[in-house]
A and B are shown apart, each in its own frame.
Chain A
Amino acid sequence: MEIINAFALIINYIIIPGLTYGCQLALGALGVTIIYTVLRFSNFAHGELMSFGAMTSILITWIISYFGISISPLPTVILALPISILITISYCLLIDKYCFQYHRKKNSKNVISLIVSIGVMFFTSGLIRVLIGPNDRTINDGERFIISARKFKEITGLTEGISLKLSQSITIIVSIIAVVLLFWFLNKTKTGKSMRAYSDNKDLALLSGIKTENVIFYTWLITGTLACIAGTLYGLDKSYKPFTYLQLVLPIFAAAIVGGIGNPIGAIIGGFVISFSELLITFSYNKFLSYLIPINFLPEGSLQLLSTDYKIAISFIILVLVLILKPTGIYKGKLL
C-alpha cells in the first residue's frame, strides 16, 4: 500500500505535470526547429509568438462568450483556437514580409536574422501589452478536473490522490494530434517533402523547380500554427501572463538543442527531457521517501535538489552541458 501511495505521489506531481509541460515545450521546440531548418536562423521571437497566439485566443474567447456560446464542459478557448491560429499565421507572414524577407533577399548572414528576431520579440511583447495588458488572465472556463484528487482517494482508498485536470488532458490530446498532423504533412505530402528538400539542399531544391516563396509561406504557416497551439495550451494549463512567455524561450531552445536542432523528433524528445528534469530536480522527495522507508530513518528537510525558484536555471545548465559534451544533441542535429 505504501509503495502504491509513493507511486501515486510521483504520478500526480511528476508524470502528469511533466507530460503536460513537456508537450507544451515540444510544440514550442518544433516551431523553433522548423524555422531553424528552413530559414536557417534561431527565432528568439518564438516565445512571444506563442504569447501572441494565446492572446488572440483569449480575445476571441471573450467575443465568443459575449454571444453566449459555450461548449461546456470543454473550455470555450477550444472553439476560439482555429480562428486565433489563422490570426497568428497572418501575423507571422506580416513579420516575415516586413522584417525577415529583406535580409533573405539581401542574402544577409543568418546571425542578422537572429538579431531581427530579437527585435521582433520586443515589438511583439510590446504589442501584446498594448492590446491585452500585462495582467494575469484565466482562460479556463470549462470543467476543472476529470478526476479530482479527493474523488480518486475515495474510490481507491489511498492516502495520496491523483488528479487529472481537463486542461492537462486537452494539452496532451491536442499536442498528439498536432504532432501527428505535422509528421504526416512533412513526410507524406508533396509540399511537406519540398520543405524538407529545401532545408536539406537549397540549391538542388531550386534546380528541381521548388519555389522559395512557397516553402517560406508554408514554414510560417506551420510555425504560426504550432506557436498558437503551444501558447494557448500553456495559458490554458497555467494562466495567461504575458511575462511568462519570455521565460519560456530558454527551455524551448534548450529542448530543441538537447534533441538535436533541426530534427523534429529530437525536438519532441528534448521537450520531455527538459520538462522532466525541471520537475525531478525541483521535486521535494520528503513525502515520497516517507512511504518507502521507516519514519525514523527519514532525513530532515524537504529533500529538494534545487528550489523551484531556480527552475529556469535547470534548462540553462542542461543547455550548457549539451553544448559542451554533445553539441549535435540526442538525435544528430545540425551544429549551431
Chain B
Amino acid sequence: MLLDVREIICGYENTIIVDGCNFSVKKGDIACIVGPNGAGKSTAMKAIFGLIPIKSGQVIFNNEDITSLNPQERVIKGMSFVPQNNNIFQEMSVEENLEMGAFIHQSSMKENLKNVYNLFPILNEKKSQIAGELSGGQRQQLAVGRALMTNPVLLMLDEPSAGVSPIVMKDLFTKLKAISKMGTSILVVEQNAKQALEISNLGFVLQNGKNKYSDTGKALLQNPEVRVSFLGG
C-alpha cells in the first residue's frame, strides 16, 4: 500500500468537516475522491497533505507514519500537491515556475524538466513566457508540471478541472493517465465525477465527511445508487 489514510477526523475551528474517512492508494493507481459540494473532499485532501491539522486518525505513506510531518517534509517523502487555486507563480516565466518546483530536487532537475516538457510540449514552446499570461488550460498543465518536478511517488490534485473547458479537461485527464503509466500514483479530488471515475481504477464517494462508497471506478459508474445520487442518473 502506497498511501493508507485511516479514520481521519479534521475540520476548521469547531466544525468537523471530515469525519472518519479512509482512503487507500496502491502504486500505479489513479484514485479519485468524488462527492457533492461540501462533502469534505478538498478538506480531506488538504489533511492528507498536511495543510490542515488532523484531530485524530493516521496517514501512512510508504509504510511510514507521516501524520505529524508538515507539507514540505511530505514533499521530500515523495508527495506532491496541485492546489485548486493560485497554483502557479504568476509573475515568473514558465521555466522558472518549473525550476521552483524542483527547488528541493535540484540534482535531477534537468531530467525532470525534460520529462515535463515531453509530457506537456506546449510548456516547452512557451517556456520564457510569463505564467500569468497563459490560458486556463496551459496554466493547469503548468501547475501539474510544477508538481511533477519533485519527481513524486504520489501526485495529488485538488479539482484540476475547475474552471477549464471540457476539451481541456479531457486532455488533462489523458495526461493524468500518461503520468500514472510512468509510475506516479495519482489521487485526485473531482467535481466532474463521471469523467474522473472513467479514468480512475479506484473511487471514493464522500458524503457529509464520511465514506459512502469505495470501489473501483468502473463498479461505481455502474452502481445504480451512485448513478442516481451522484452522477445525475
Task: For the complex, count residues of B whose C-beta is within 8 A of A.
Answer: 22
Q: Chain B: which residue is nearest A212 at the CB level?
A: B72
Among listed A46-54, A66-74, A189-197, interface-contacting one: A189-197
Question: In the complex, which residues of chain B have a beta carbon less than 8 angstroms from the beta carbon of A194?
Answer: 100, 103
Distance between Cα atoms of A187 and B96 in the complex (Å): 9
Q: Chain A: which residue is nearest B79 at the CB level?
A: A207
Contact between chains at A201 and B103 (CB < 8 Å): no
Smallest beta-carbon distance A259→chain B, Å: 16
Distance between Cα atoms of A72 and B90 in the complex (Å): 49
Contact between chains at B76 and A209 (CB < 8 Å): yes
Interface presence of B146 (CB below 8 A):
yes
Distance between Cα atoms of A138 and B56 in the complex (Å): 67
Interface presence of B173 (CB below 8 A):
no
Contact between chains at A200 and B76 (CB < 8 Å): no
Distance between Cα atoms of A23 and B96 in the complex (Å): 30
Q: Which of A194, A201, A207, A209 has the most CB of B within 10 A?
A: A207
Contact string against B for A residues 177-220, beta-carbon threshold 8 Å, 1 for contact and 0 otherwise: 00000000000001001101100110111111111000000000
Question: In the complex, which residues of chain A have a beta carbon less than 8 angstroms from the beta carbon of B71?
Answer: 206-207
Contact between chains at A208 and B87 (CB < 8 Å): no
A208-B86 contact given A196-B91, A196-B92, A200-B92, CB 8 Å threshold:
no
Task: For the complex, count residues of A whose C-beta is within 8 A of B.
Answer: 16
Contact between chains at B86 and A201 (CB < 8 Å): yes
Question: In the complex, which residues of chain A have a beta carbon less than 8 angstroms from the beta carbon of B89?
Answer: 196-197, 200-201, 204-205
Distance between Cα atoms of A194 and B72 in the complex (Å): 15
Contact between chains at A207 and B81 (CB < 8 Å): yes
Q: Chain A: which residue is nearest B76 at the CB level?
A: A209
Chain B residues proximal to chain A, CB less than 8 Å? 71-72, 75-76, 81, 83, 86-92, 96, 99-101, 103-104, 106, 146, 150
Chain A residues proximal to chain B, CB less than 8 Å? 190, 193-194, 196-197, 200-201, 203-211
Instruction: List the 8 closest A-B pairs by CB distance, nearest first.
Output: A209-B104, A200-B89, A197-B100, A209-B103, A200-B91, A208-B103, A208-B100, A197-B89
User: Can you show 9 pairs from A to B with CB atoms below 8 A apart?
Assistant: A190-B99, A197-B100, A206-B71, A207-B81, A208-B75, A208-B100, A208-B103, A208-B150, A209-B103
Taking A204-B88, A206-B71, A207-B83 as given, write out 13 further A-B residue pairs in contact, using a Cβ cutoff of 8 Å, ordered by the A residue number. A190-B103, A190-B106, A193-B92, A193-B99, A194-B100, A196-B89, A200-B91, A201-B89, A204-B83, A207-B72, A208-B150, A209-B150, A210-B103
